[in-house]
Amino acid sequence: MKKSDEFFINNKTTFLLGAVKLDDIPVKRTPEVAFIGRSNVGKSSLINAITNEKIAITSKLPGRTKQLNFFTVDDKINIVDLPGYGYAKVGKQQVENWTELMFKYFLGRVNLRKLFLLIDSRHGFKKNDEDIMSILDKSGVLYQVILTKTDKINKQEFEKVKKSIMAVANKHTAMFPEIISTSSSKGYGIDEIREVIYDLI
């Protein structure tokens, strides 16, 4: 078993806090990784698979995550579950408040080592994904694309989506050129994400 797998399996992941405003965000300098994506992209399921625990709330209703949720693994690395963007069954003002909070977090978080941008492999990039990417480029946040739900498409569809994403990647300076393909239900790609995170500690 890889050291990265051992780290997540043998160490308990605990909830630190949920931030609804900038002052709530912890000031600790523990290295952090964050996960962001459209509502219902499978973000919570992926975080649960990585940590081997049911720490992030999963829901069939888009927009369930309403705050920046901070978790820590053995106090060595923080994992941040960011609110989903795009469709959400909440008011426009609340969505704007979440968005503003996330962007302030991006700009001021010096210990944010990497952001994982989750894309549903069945749909590829949408307009709001590229809007987020442009903001991340400007804020200088290094981010890496994770394709979710790859068990739900065939090989030909997967290659087509991957090719389109790489074409978009060339336009974004802060995007890491390597894509991680995952399936939370099947366990695909989980060890690869764990290794990327473990190397940041």
pLDDT in tens, 147-175: 999 999 999 999 999 888 888 877 888 88
Specify the CATH number for the domain of residue 176: 3.40.50.300
Report how many domains make up the chain. Answer: 1
What is residue 62's predicted lDDT score, i.e. its pLDDT?
A: 45
Cβ neighbours of residue 197 closer than 8 Å, sequence gap 6 or more: 4, 33, 50, 77, 79, 114
Q: What is the pLDDT of residues 112-138, one digit of tens each?
A: 999 999 999 998 888 888 888 887 887
**H or E segment at 161?**
helix 155-169
pTM of the model: 0.90
CA 182 – CA 193 distance, rounded (Å): 9
Q: What is the pLDDT of residues 56-97, one digit of tens each?
A: 765 444 444 578 999 999 999 999 999 887 755 556 666 677
CA 178 – CA 181 distance, rounded (Å): 10
**Mean pLDDT in the chain?**
87
CA 97 – CA 200 distance, rounded (Å): 30
CA 7 to each of CA 74, 107, 188: distance values in angstroms, whole numbers, following the listed order: 9, 29, 18
Contact 26, 17 (CB under 8 A): yes
CA 60 to each of CA 43, 55, 88, 103: distance values in angstroms, whole numbers, following the listed order: 12, 16, 11, 26
Q: Residue 176's pLDDT band (boundaries 50, 70, 90)?
A: confident
CA 24 – CA 22 distance, rounded (Å): 5
Residue 67's domain comprises 3-198
| 24's tokens | 């709530």
Contact 99, 92 (CB under 8 A): no
**Is 60 or 11 the better-scoring residue by pLDDT?**
11
Between CA 15 and CA 24, with CA 20 as vertex, the angle to 5 degrees is 70
Stretch 185-197: mean pLDDT, rounded? 95
